[in-house]
Amino acid sequence: MNQEVCVMCGKVIDTDIEQYETGESLGEYWCIDCVVAELNDKN
């Protein structure tokens, strides 16, 4: 199991099964909830 921590909310992401995005800098991971929230903020 590969785990990363979302840089936005601190939630642990299981990168094997959960959707996630990588941030602008290396080692930045965003959980799907924060990705969706960010997209909604831009609209």
With 90 as the cut, is the pLDDT of residue 25 above it?
Answer: no
Give mean pLDDT, residues 3-12.
97
Whether the predicted pLDDT of 43 surpasses 80: no
> Are 12 and 5 a contacting pair, CB within 8 Å?
yes
- Selected residue with higher pLDDT from 24 and 37: 37
Q: Do 9 and 33 form a contact (C-beta atoms < 8 A)?
A: yes
Across 6-10, 12-16, 21-25, least confident range: 21-25
> How far is residue 16's CA from residue 38's CA, in Å, rounded to a whole number?
23
Strand (E) positions, the chain? 3-5, 12-14, 20-22, 29-31
